[in-house]
Amino acid sequence: MTARAATGPTEPTGPTGPTEPTEPTGLTGPAGPAGTAETGGSGDLGPGEAVRSMSSGAVVDAGAPAGSWLGRRDPADFPAGLVAEAQATADAAAEAVGVCFVEYRSIAEMNEAAGLLDRVWRPGGGGSPLVTAALLKVLAHCGSYVVGAHRQDRVVGVCLGLLADFGLHSHITGIEDGWRGGGLGRALKLHQRAWCLRRGIGAVTWTYDPLVSRNAYFNLAKLGAVAVQYHPDYYGEMADERNVGIPSDRLLVRWDLAGPHTRAVLSGDFTPATDDAVVALGVGPDGGPVIAGADRVRGAGRLLTAVPRDVEELRVRDPALAARWRPALREVLGGLLADGARITGFTRDGWYVVERPEQSEQMRQTPRTQHIAPGHNQEDHS
């Protein structure tokens, strides 16, 4: 392909640290070894919608005010120099990986993009294409984000984002074998951020499987996205090879592209506080989930919720053990969000940090003697 317009009851204990926080590479949500931290898009339920019970299988909203969902505006309204700074950061990331980014327009480009997505998400082949070239063509024509990452004339990554009322919903990403974990996923997201800011788009959303620790770390700790909704069984039964037979719970995240939190995270100036945190969901001796008793977590302002070190590997090695994690995380993390708590970060060694606003305020005013913090993983994730 020729590139045209390119732009650069046991005491809960923590899991061992996550594997290399490989950048997303697959359908938004599934995120397997070849998958991305993004999948599917919702955006049809705004943050102001009333919370309903977890047992109903309905969306659980973290309570972000509707005004924080930023739509399209004049790029001049962003902080001075932000658009140029975002573009420079994106160009540097692309140069470091050795790729250029191409906004696709032709049907030939769409065919290559659709083929790559199928190779990533349906390595066994067969069946209908995940996304057709014709649909990609229409979406690009309507102004959506349809972009390929190129090394010379070879396509090594593809990302699709859909225009929405609040900004852009990043729906699906695919990265070829051999390119995962080397910075291409981050470069794609930084390109997407610059692309949006140039067009006056201030927010991007996507979903991911909250059990996949490397994607949680990438989304929350490396990019600065914020989890705003927990969706139990979001897609229903999924047929792709990486998700068949697994309830498709997803966290919806919002990336405030011009916000101070995003800018702090991208510059490396943010670490989630874990002081006086209490473990709400830990890991037992067998590697399974251990839910703390109500008396233990009652009144705690800051809580820690574990996920397996590598749930995809666990699903292959011990499917029964892996299956225990979905309902446990739904009950604890989903339940906390339903009660008004918010996720403030994800640690390198595999813990969601969750805060209850009222109790957190009390905790700041009243010294506590109990301190339960996650362990530290010595692996280098740079």
Instruction: Quote the CA–CA distance of 288 and 308 in Å, as a whole number.
Output: 8
Instruction: Quote the CA–CA distance of 130 and 153 in Å, as a whole number.
Output: 23
Give per-residue burial for 262-289: e unless 16+ CB within 10 Å, then b.
bbebbeeebebebebbbbbbbbeeebbb
Residue 365 lies in a domain: no
* Minimum mean pLDDT range among 4-8, 346-350, 354-358: 4-8
CATH number of the domain encompassing residue 235: 3.40.630.30
* Minimum mean pLDDT range among 32-41, 84-93, 235-244: 32-41
Q: How confident is the model at residue 233 (pLDDT cuts 50, 70, 90)?
A: very high
Residue 258 lies in a domain: yes
List pLDDT tens digits, range 156-169: 999 999 999 889 99
Count CB atoms within 10 A of the CB of residue 10.
11
For the chain, what is the largest distance between any 2 Cα atoms, rounded to a whole number of angstroms? 64
- Are 302 and 276 in contact by the 8 Å Cβ rule? The answer is yes
Residue 237 lies in a domain: yes
Residue 109 lies in a domain: yes
Confidence at residue 225, expressed as pLDDT on a 0 to 100 scale: 97
Please, what is the average pLDDT of the chain?
Answer: 79
Residue 362 lies in a domain: no
Confidence at residue 362, expressed as pLDDT on a 0 to 100 scale: 47
Instruction: Quote the CA–CA distance of 218 and 227 in Å, as a whole number.
Output: 12
- 309 versus 39: which is more confidently predicted? 309
Domain containing 86 equals: 6-271
The H-or-E segment that residue 303 falls in is strand 302-306
Burial class (CB in 10 A: 0-12, 13-18, 19+), 46: middle
Residue 232 lies in a domain: yes
38: left (phi over 0), alpha (psi -120 to 50) or beta: beta
E strands, 178-329, are 203-208, 226-231, 250-256, 278-283, 289-291, 302-306
What percent of the chain has pLDDT above 90? 62
Over residues 364-373, the mean pLDDT reads 35
Q: How many domains does the chain divide into?
A: 1
Q: How confident is the model at residue 37 (pLDDT cuts 50, 70, 90)?
A: very low
Query: Has residue 56 got a pLDDT over 50?
Result: no
Residue 367 lies in a domain: no
What are φ and ψ of residue 312, in 5° steps? -65, -40
Residue 157 lies in a domain: yes
Eight-state DSSP code of residue 239: -
Global pTM value? 0.77
